[in-house]
Amino acid sequence: MGIHQEVGAIFAAGRDLTIGVEEEFQVLDATGLGLVARFGDLQAVADARFGSPFLVGELIQSEAEISSRPCDTFAGVREDMTARRRVLMQSAKQLGLALCATGVHPFSLWEEQDFIDTVHYRRVVEMLRYVAWTNNTFGLHVHIGVRDADRAVAICDAIRSHLPTLLALSASSPFFRGRETGLHSTRAQVFIRSFPRCGIPDAYGSWAAYAEYAQFLFDTDCVTEPTQIWWTVRPHHKYGTVEVRAADAQPRFSESMAISGLTLALVARLLERLDAEGSLPVHEGRFIEENRWRALRDGLDGTLIDLDRGREVPAVECVQRLVDDVRHQGERLGLHDELAEVARMLEHGNSAQRQLALYRDGASLLEIHTLMVEETMRI
C-alpha cells in the first residue's frame, strides 16, 4: 500500500483541531552557558522523573526536545507542557546543567558539537554531511489535527501565506557564532537555506498530487522516512496532522503557548472558511518567499507585503490583523490568554527585540544569554 492509501487512511480517521506541541532546548553548562554534550545524562534523569519515553534527541548531544501528548483542547496542551517543562528544568538543575530556548545559541560553535550515536542520526549525518554538521538550531513545532487528507493539503496550501507572520512574531535568534547577525531569526536562515526539501513548500491542490510527489521521493531514494521532508508546514504522515514549523524556540513559556495558540486559532479559521466556501486563497511560493526573507531579517521591526494588495505593511500590523481575523475561533477554543499574550508581545517586544535592545544598551552576549536562560528555566 502506497502513501496515497496508507497515509490517507490516517487522515480519514483523524479529528479536527487536536493539538500537540514540540519544543527544542539547548543543553548548557550551567557555569559558562555554552552548549554541552549531556543529552544522554539529561534524558536518563528526566525519563526517570516523568516516565519513559519523555525526552527526545535532536541530532546533536547538546539539544533536547519535549513533546506534548495529543490533546483535544488547548487547556490540555498547556497543562501538559507546563508539567513537562517543569520536569525538564528540575532534571537539568539536578545535573548541574542549564537550558535555553532561543532559535540558535549565540556563541557556541557547531564545530564543537557531537552527534547522537543512533542508526537514525548516523543516516541523517551520512546523507546531509556539512549541512547536518552546521545545523545547531532550535524550534517550536505545532501539530494540528485535520480530518481528511484533501482538507489537510488545502490547509497546508493556504497557511503558507501566514508562515512569515508567525516567523516574525516568534523571532528569537539575533546572535550567532559570537556576533550580531543583522537578522532577527538566524535559525530560519541557517536551517531553511541549508536543508533540502525545506522552507515554503509548493501548493499541491489535492492529496493525490501531494502523495504522488511524496511517493516519488521514496521511490527514488531521496528520502527514507517522511520526517526528511523538512518543510515549514507539512502533512505529518504518522499523526495525521498539519505540522507548522515556522517558529523559533521561545524562552518564555507564555510566549511559546501564545504562538501555539495563535497557530491553532488560524487553522480553525481556515477550516471554517474551507468548509463554508469550498476553497481557500493560495499565493505563489515566490511571493511568500519575499515575506519569509523580510520576517527573518527584520522580525517585528520590519514590514511584510500584503500579498492581496501588493503593498508593504508593518509586521506588527500583519500580526494584529491575523489576531483580529481569528479572534472568534480563539475565544471559542479557550485562547483568550494566548491572544492577549500576543498583543503584549506586539506592544512590548518579542524575544529578538528584547535581546537587541539589551545589546544596544551595552549588554554582552553572555549577559543577554544569561537572561534568556533565566526566562527559559522559570516555570
Q: Residues 285, 139: contact at Cβ < 8 Å?
A: no
Whether residue 339 is predicted with pLDDT greater than 70 in this model: the reply is yes
Side chain identity at residue 93, one-letter code: K
**Alpha-carbon Rg for the chain in angstroms:** 20
DSSP annotation of 71 reads B
Q: What is the mean pLDDT of residues 31-52?
A: 96
Domains assigned to the chain: 3-21+114-377 (3.30.590.20)
Whole-angstrom Cα distance, residue 260 to residue 30?
28
pLDDT in tens, 186-230: 999 999 877 899 999 999 999 999 999 999 999 999 999 999 999
Q: Residues 351, 255: contact at Cβ < 8 Å?
A: yes
What confidence score (pLDDT) does residue 181 get? 98
Q: Residues 240, 166: contact at Cβ < 8 Å?
A: no
What confidence score (pLDDT) does residue 111 get? 94
184 closest CA partner among 29, 31, 301: 301
Whether residue 289 is predicted with pLDDT greater than 70 in this model: the reply is yes
pLDDT in tens, 134-172: 889 999 999 999 999 999 999 999 999 999 999 999 999
- CA dihedral defined by 265, 270, 276, 281, rounded to 10 degrees? 150
Whether residue 297 is predicted with pLDDT greater than 70 in this model: the reply is yes
Cβ atoms within 10 A of the Cβ of 32, count? 13
What confidence score (pLDDT) does residue 27 get? 98
What confidence score (pLDDT) does residue 131 get? 84
What confidence score (pLDDT) does residue 238 get? 95
Q: What is the mean pLDDT of residues 316-328?
A: 98
Mean pLDDT across the chain: 96
Whether residue 312 is predicted with pLDDT greater than 80 in this model: the reply is yes
pLDDT in tens, 89-134: 999 999 999 999 999 999 999 999 998 888 777 888 888 898 888 8
Whether residue 1 is predicted with pLDDT greater than 70 in this model: the reply is no
Burial string for 284-322 (b: 16+ CB within 10 Å, else e) reads eeeebeebbebbbbbbbbbbbbebeeeeeeebbebbeeb
Tallying the residues shown for the chain, one arrives at 379
Q: What is the mean pLDDT of residues 360-366?
A: 98
Cβ atoms within 10 A of the Cβ of 327, count? 15
pLDDT in tens, 49-86: 999 899 999 889 999 999 999 999 999 999 999 999 99
Strand partners, 242: 144, 235
Backbone angles phi, psi at 140, to 5 degrees: -120, 120
| CA distances for 126 relative to 129, 226, 370, angstroms | 6, 17, 35
DSSP codes joined into one string, 96-138:
TEEEE-SSB-SS--GGG--B--SHHHHHHHHHHTHHHHT--B-
Model confidence at 2, in pLDDT bands (50, 70, 90)? Answer: confident
